[in-house]
Amino acid sequence: MSISRRTLLKLAGITALGVTAEKYATAHAGSTAAKVLSKAVGAGKRLTKSSVQKKVRLAMVVDLRKCVSDQGCTKCIDACNRAHNIPDLGDSKDAIKWIWKEPYENAFVDQENFYMRDEFRNKMVPVFCNNCDNPPCVEVCPTQATFQRPDGIVMMDWHRCIGCRYCMAACPYGSRSFNWRDPRPFIKDIDPDYPTRMKGVVEKCTWCDERVDQGLLPLCVEACPEKAMVFGNLNDPKSEVRQLLKDNFSVRRKPGLGTSPEVYYLV
Amino acid sequence: MIEHAFRGSKRYWTWLLFLGLIILAGFYFYMRQFTYGLGITGMSRNVSWGLYIAQFTFIVGVAASAVMVVLPYYLHDYKAFGKITILGEFLAISSVIMCMLFVFVDLGQPFRVLNIFLYPTFHSLMFWDVVALTGYLVLNVIITRVTLAAERNSIPPPKWIRPIIIMSIPWAISIHTVTAFLFAGLAGRPFWLTAVLAPRFLASAFSAGPALLLLLCLLLRKLTNFDAGEEAIKKLGLIITYAMCVNVFLILMEFFTTFYSHIPEDAAHMQYLYFGLDGKARLVPWMWTSAALAVVSLAILLVPRTRSNHRTLVVACVAVFLSIWIDKGLGLVITGFIPSPFGKVIQYWPTLPETLIALGIWAIGVFFITIFYKMALSIREQVE
């Protein structure tokens, strides 16, 4: 069987097109065009780990064996709330939460283990946005007000958000909060270095993107007295997060949904 | 054409005034929601969609159901529907307007609504839903305007309108399919994550919508000298019967898959909806009312004698409409959020302002139906 010159040229053309598209997609990861392109070249978004090709994929490791939040420690939560002007609306239906504590059985709702290690049965787990690698919130947002940075952080543009709350319906982790009312009267001391929000928009934890850009660690990581939280580049084999994941057993919240959550809990 | 809406009996004006008052009340509470924020509703960080989106979902179905008269008339040349096709199309227009208003009042930042068009996002089903609804509205406005104008001048409608009418048929299916996709594509909400959702939406739409249309036809016969014709009524009754059977069948399918598979996350929602979970059962009496109404309606509809008797047929239509209104306009959307992603049962119930805003939008819909039907019937009377 021989391949005609014409077919060969065609094949070469298609391959070149595919390679270019893929290169473009990697360079412009996160943009709509890139997504359309990466879909066109057949990147199975929910099936493969698309971050593998990227240089930086930020991730968080939370060592629950070290975390003392069940003993009343709220240092990570306090540091976050203060710096991000998060209103104190108590535990009301209007509450805004970026990082907070949930009992183990609620945080890992799909892992039914009846006879667990004693210290884990009543364990409190710090929960916050997983900054998923395949974020369903980004997929559903009708205005791209929520979008993914090339390093993986899922961002929120509070000025573009129309407040439809489709992202809240899509998030499997309850990580998103909506400003059901004007939050400003409920902020104790407004930090002028960080914006406050208005009513009618969605917000969430962004792993302190404003600090990450300055080469600083997220506040919760810095505030933890037990050094239970570690933040770093998952795609760097020498990073601390990778070392921890190599040497310890870790779990993630609802990994079976294909969202690829990027918070790893050591148990 | 619109001039006919400005001439009417005292009864006509009193009715519009009554609707106007409800609309004003709704508008007042919307202004309060606008200043305070959506916290004025019963929605919460756990149940983040409520009555508004649920009503939207139900009414998209009513809008889509116009296809049940348009299709037989234009595609199969079923003459008996000739008189009521325009009523179906006007019902669709009024419904789409209500749908858009329900989405609008649900927005936290309503002034930014145009961001949907400024930043078109093809991977968002919300974008496609807005496109589908807007397109459907435009199609039906063109169709009613052209066909009614032709009727007024006693000439056949122009040839170019036919492809537009034919296009409105799959378009009607699409608006409700896309609305189902809004829910059915979310990995984190197992209650909605079912391929049967779109078919179920269509079946419930094609029973509740024609049921409303049939009731309107009988009401018009009583109030005006318009008569839809016995054959049309009979055929509508038959359409409602088939669609309601399919609807109930599909609901039972959900029961089987959910409870026989025993997957806890899937079952928890159905458990909450029909039996209660963790001692919380706010929707349970509603859902069993819905089920009872479905049984009553089918009992009447399936027997030819009761189906052709107008008195019992009216009961059946009211039962169909209410049954599906509870199922779709209340249970379906809210239960997707209960239990929460943390497995907690945090309930929802609409507040008074929220209910009155919803009622106001319904009144706007009825207002439009009234003036549209007035226009259509006045033109017919003139011609005759």
The answer to whether A109 contacts B115, with C-beta atoms less than 8 Å apart, is no
CA distance A250 to B119: 39
Instruction: Determine contact: B265 vs chain A, CB below 8 A.
Output: yes
Residue B248, domain extent: 230-336
CA distance B118 to B112: 10
Q: Are residues B162 and B15 in the same domain?
A: yes
- Which residue type occupies A60? M
The answer to whether B186 contacts A169, with C-beta atoms less than 8 Å apart, is yes
Q: Which residues contact A155 (CB under 8 A, 6 or more apart)?
A: A146, A147, A148, A149, A206, A209
> Would the pLDDT of A29 be above 60?
no
Cα-based torsion angle of the residue sequence B267, B273, B275, B277 in order, rounded to the nearest 10 degrees: 70
List chain B residues with CB under 8 Å of A259: 187-188
Predicted pLDDT at A53 = 60
CATH number, domain of B143, equals: 1.20.1630
List chain B residues with CB under 8 Å of A199: 36-39, 108
On whether residue B62 sits in a domain, the answer given is: yes
Q: Are residues B6 and B153 in the same domain?
A: yes
Q: Are residues B332 and B383 in the same domain?
A: no
- Tell me the two tokens of residue B236: 């509508």
Q: Are residues B116 and B256 in the same domain?
A: no
Q: What's the mean pLDDT in B6-27?
A: 95
On whether residue B325 sits in a domain, the answer given is: yes
> Would the pLDDT of A6 be above 60?
no
Closest CA to B254 of B243, B242, B268, B270: B270
Predicted pLDDT at B32 = 98
The answer to whether A182 contacts B37, with C-beta atoms less than 8 Å apart, is yes
Half-sphere exposure of A229 (CA within 13 A, CB side): 25
Please count the structural domains in chain B. 2
> Would the pLDDT of B273 be above 70?
yes
CA distance A185 to B107: 22
The answer to whether B39 contacts A94, with C-beta atoms less than 8 Å apart, is yes
Of B38, B119, B342, the CB nearest to A144: B119
Instruction: Determine contact: B108 vs chain A, CB below 8 A.
Output: yes
The answer to whether B112 contacts A162, with C-beta atoms less than 8 Å apart, is yes
pTM: 0.90
Q: What is the largest CA-CA distance in chain A?
A: 78
Interface test with A, best of B102, B117, B124 (most A CBs within 10 A): B124
Instruction: Determine contact: B46 vs chain A, CB below 8 A.
Output: yes
Helix B51-64 vs helix B197-223: crossing angle, to nearest 10: 70
Predicted pLDDT at A32 = 56
Model confidence over B318-347: pLDDT tens digits?
Answer: 999 999 999 999 999 999 999 999 999 999
HEC sequence for B121-170: CCCCHHHHHHHHHHHHHHHHHHHHHHHHHHHHCCCCCCCCHHHHHHHHHH
Domain boundaries, chain A: 1-43, 44-266
Model confidence over B115-159: pLDDT tens digits?
Answer: 999 999 999 999 999 999 999 999 999 999 999 999 888 899 999
The answer to whether A163 contacts B121, with C-beta atoms less than 8 Å apart, is no
Instruction: Determine contact: B76 vs chain A, CB below 8 A.
Output: no
Q: Are residues B14 and B148 in the same domain?
A: yes
Predicted pLDDT at A2 = 44
Predicted pLDDT at A7 = 47
Of B109, B121, B337, the CB nearest to A142: B121
List chain B residues with CB under 8 Å of A197: none
Predicted pLDDT at A55 = 87
In the structure, what pLDDT confidence band is assigned to residue A70 with cuts at 50, 70 and 90?
confident
CATH number of A44-266: 3.30.70.20
Q: Are residues B182 and B73 in the same domain?
A: yes
Q: Spell out a b/e string for B109-145, using b for 16 or more CB atoms within 10 Å of the CB, else e.
A: bbebbebbeebbbebbbbbbbbbbbebbbebbeebbe
Q: Are residues B177 and B61 in the same domain?
A: yes
Predicted pLDDT at A51 = 44
Of B46, B107, B124, the CB nearest to A141: B124
Q: Are residues B236 and B158 in the same domain?
A: no
The answer to whether B107 contacts A182, with C-beta atoms less than 8 Å apart, is no
> Would the pLDDT of B9 be above 70?
yes
Model confidence over A213-238: pLDDT tens digits?
Answer: 999 999 999 999 999 999 999 999 99
Predicted pLDDT at A31 = 54
Of B39, B126, B343, the CB nearest to A166: B126
On whether residue B196 sits in a domain, the answer given is: no
CA distance B284 to B280: 9
Closest CA to B69 of B297, B241, B240: B240
Model confidence over B65-123: pLDDT tens digits?
Answer: 999 999 999 999 999 998 899 999 999 999 999 999 999 999 999 999 999 999 999 99
Predicted pLDDT at A33 = 53
- Tell me the two tokens of residue A48: 């493969």
pLDDT, mean over chain A: 85
Q: How many CB pairs under 8 A join A and B?
A: 150
Judge residue B105's burial from the number of C-beta atoms within 10 Å of its C-beta, 0-12 exposed, 13-18 middle, 19 or more buried: buried
Lowest-confidence pick of A34-38, A71-75, B60-64, B243-247:
A34-38
Q: Are residues B32 and B162 in the same domain?
A: yes
Predicted pLDDT at A25 = 46
In the structure, what pLDDT confidence band is assigned to residue A18 with cuts at 50, 70 and 90?
very low
In the structure, what pLDDT confidence band is assigned to residue B3 with cuts at 50, 70 and 90?
confident
Predicted pLDDT at A42 = 43
> Would the pLDDT of A16 be above 60?
no
In the structure, what pLDDT confidence band is assigned to residue A115 with cuts at 50, 70 and 90?
confident
Interface test with A, best of B36, B342, B349 (most A CBs within 10 A): B342
- Which stretches within chain B are classed as H helix? 10-36, 51-64, 67-70, 85-106, 115-118, 125-152, 161-184, 197-223, 230-261, 264-274, 284-302, 304-308, 310-326, 332-335, 352-383
In the structure, what pLDDT confidence band is assigned to residue A35 with cuts at 50, 70 and 90?
low
In chain A, pLDDT over 90 holds for what percent of residues?
Answer: 71
In the structure, what pLDDT confidence band is assigned to residue A113 with cuts at 50, 70 and 90?
confident
Distance from CA of A160 to the nearest CA of B (A): 7
Of A173, A179, A181, the CB nearest to B341: A173
Predicted pLDDT at A118 = 78
Q: Are residues B254 and B314 in the same domain?
A: yes
CA distances from A220 to A74, A151, A223 (A): 10, 19, 5
